[in-house]
């Protein structure tokens, strides 16, 4: 026989107070005598009372939830941001709900609509496929923060790094190590509008080469999809192209890991034959063979900042664009060109 659901009427009877008194205590309002408040809280503990969150949300007009839309569960970088969001919401009265867009705009739109139907109080987008116009429309109705993506029309609500500068500095590092024929594994060009971070990394790579008096060779730029398999395929395409190169700058660590495997299978040594770099500094980057030189993004800190910012928006406070700094982590996957 199922256990009886505890109601505020049961609490009132246990504490020997009125239902209105119980309601005021649960809502944490003033005007309740200390002895009665103590009796109510003791009854709540004794009866293991759990409030009806749905009913409370109907009464207050708030769901006390934050919808979080990402597009790659399982990616250490994105998971770091999600962990930061969880940490940032700790101690608040809000709970996060998570959905994975899986790099599919239709799935992402469905996830968004499900959150809106549930009347979440705020939204955090981690990357994403929705167009700028769609994001602006959503932001008109619901407090919204974007992480790891720049939306020009919502710049003050964006938390990101300077991808252009970080990629420029990484390419400059390879140039300083003597490399001139530097290949770049990027993302597909149709990602340009939505995956602005990857496009900016390409722009930084391009500008660093141009500043060194080197024209970008289209044969050394290969499109992947930010997943490991595409990094391996990109290396095969580079090798089949017969265009010599001595270094690879991958737009993320995942593709760099795939590239490393493809080079190993071809008997090409890293860094003796080809130097290799990534972007993100995922936890496993330090444990590859050889350990990967990459760009470190403060993913957890960005997630925490996103949680704080969306709570500020919900409370009617203003927020400002937050630009986090990156750091090149030099490990053993790059050597000076002989």
Q: What is the pLDDT of residues 119-141, one digit of tens each?
A: 899 999 998 888 899 999 999 99
**Better-predicted residue by pLDDT, 224 or 49:** 224
Supply the pLDDT for residue 56.
55
Supply the pLDDT for residue 98.
94
**Better-predicted residue by pLDDT, 195 or 217:** 217
- Contact between residue 123 and residue 142 where contact means Cβ atoms under 8 Å apart: yes
Structure tokens at 287: 């444990």
Location of structure tokens 């003791």: 42
**Better-predicted residue by pLDDT, 9 or 186:** 186
Location of structure tokens 């005598």: 33
**Strand 327-329 and strand 294-296: pairing?**
antiparallel
**How confident is the model over 320-324, as a mean pLDDT?**
95
**How confident is the model over 247-267, as a mean pLDDT?**
97
CA distances from 18 to 7, 50, 133, 214 (A): 13, 19, 52, 81
CA distances from 71 to 34, 52, 165, 225, 338 (A): 49, 31, 24, 12, 41
Structure tokens at 63: 């769901």
Q: For residue 233, is pLDDT > 80?
A: yes
Bridge partners, 323 (sequence order): 160
Residue 2 binned pLDDT confidence (cut-offs 50, 70, 90): very low
**How confident is the model over 257-265, as a mean pLDDT?**
98
Supply the pLDDT for residue 105.
86
What are the structural domains of the chain? Answer: 8-51 (1.10.260.40), 61-161+299-325 (3.40.50.2300), 163-297 (3.40.50.2300)
Supply the pLDDT for residue 3.
52
Supply the pLDDT for residue 190.
53
Give the span between the Cα atoms of 249 and 177, in whole angstroms.
13
**Strand 95-100 and strand 247-250: pairing?**
unpaired
pTM: 0.79
State yes or no: cis peptide before 9, omega within 30 of 0: no
**How confident is the model over 285-308, as a mean pLDDT?**
96
Give the span between the Cα atoms of 43 and 144, in whole angstroms.
39
- Contact between residue 220 and residue 179 where contact means Cβ atoms under 8 Å apart: no
What sign for the dihedral angle of Cα 221, 222, 225, 231? negative
Report the percent of the chain where pLDDT is more than 70: 93
Q: For residue 85, is pLDDT > 80?
A: yes
Location of structure tokens 């290949």: 183
Degrees to nearest 5, angle at CA 325 with 91 and 322: 55
**Residues 26-83: tens digit of each pLDDT:** 777 777 888 988 998 898 888 887 766 555 554 555 778 999 999 777 778 888 999 9
Supply the pLDDT for residue 7.
82
Supply the pLDDT for residue 189.
58
Q: For residue 1, is pLDDT > 50?
A: no
**Better-predicted residue by pLDDT, 52 or 210:** 210
Supply the pLDDT for residue 60.
52
Put the strands of the sheet holding 122-126 in their side by side order.
95-100, 65-70, 122-126, 144-147, 158-161, 322-324
Supply the pLDDT for residue 52.
62
Question: What's the chain's average pLDDT?
Answer: 90
**How confident is the model over 216-245, as a mean pLDDT?**
95
Supply the pLDDT for residue 82.
94
**How confident is the model over 166-180, as a mean pLDDT?**
98
**How confident is the model over 98-112, as a mean pLDDT?**
88
Highest-confidence segment of 137-151, 171-185, 194-208: 171-185
Residue 209 binned pLDDT confidence (cut-offs 50, 70, 90): very high
Q: For residue 192, is pLDDT > 80?
A: no
């Amino acid at each position: 026989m199922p256990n009886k659901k505890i109601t505020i009427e049961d609490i009132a009877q246990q504490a020997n107070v009125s239902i209105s008194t119980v309601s005021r205590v649960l809502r944490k309002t003033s005007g309740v005598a200390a002895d009665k408040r103590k009796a109510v809280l003791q009854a709540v503990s004794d009866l293991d009372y759990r409030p009806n969150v749905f009913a409370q949300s109907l009464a207050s007009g708030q769901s006390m939830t934050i919808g979080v839309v990402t597009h790659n569960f399982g990616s250490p970088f994105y998971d770091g941001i999600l962990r930061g969001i969880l940490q940032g919401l700790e101690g608040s009265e809000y709970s996060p709900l998570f959905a994975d867009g899986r790099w599919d705009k239709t799935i992402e739109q469905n996830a968004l609509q499900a959150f809106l139907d549930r009347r979440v109080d705020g939204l955090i987008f981690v990357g994403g496929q929705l167009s700028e116009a769609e994001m602006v429309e959503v932001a008109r109705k619901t407090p919204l923060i974007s992480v790891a993506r720049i939306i020009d029309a919502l710049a003050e609500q964006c938390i990101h790094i300077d991808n252009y500068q970080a990629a420029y500095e990484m390419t400059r590092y390879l140039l300083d190590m003597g490399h001139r024929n530097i290949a770049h594994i990027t993302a597909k060009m149709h990602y340009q509008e939505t995956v602005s971070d990857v496009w900016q990394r390409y722009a930084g790579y391009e500008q660093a080469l141009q500043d060194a008096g080197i024209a970008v060779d289209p044969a050394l730029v290969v499109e992947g999809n930010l997943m490991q398999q595409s990094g391996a395929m990109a290396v095969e395409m580079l090798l089949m192209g017969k265009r010599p190169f001595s270094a690879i700058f991958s737009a993320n660590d995942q593709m760099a890991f795939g590239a490393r495997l493809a080079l190993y299978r071809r008997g090409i040594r890293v860094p003796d034959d080809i130097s290799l770099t990534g972007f993100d500094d995922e936890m496993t980057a330090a444990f590859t063979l050889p350990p990967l030189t990459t760009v470190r993004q403060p993913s957890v800190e960005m997630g925490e900042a996103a949680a704080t910012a969306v709570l500020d928006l919900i409370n009617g406070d203003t927020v400002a664009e937050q630009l986090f700094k990156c750091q090149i982590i030099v490990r053993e996957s790059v050597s000076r060109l002989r």
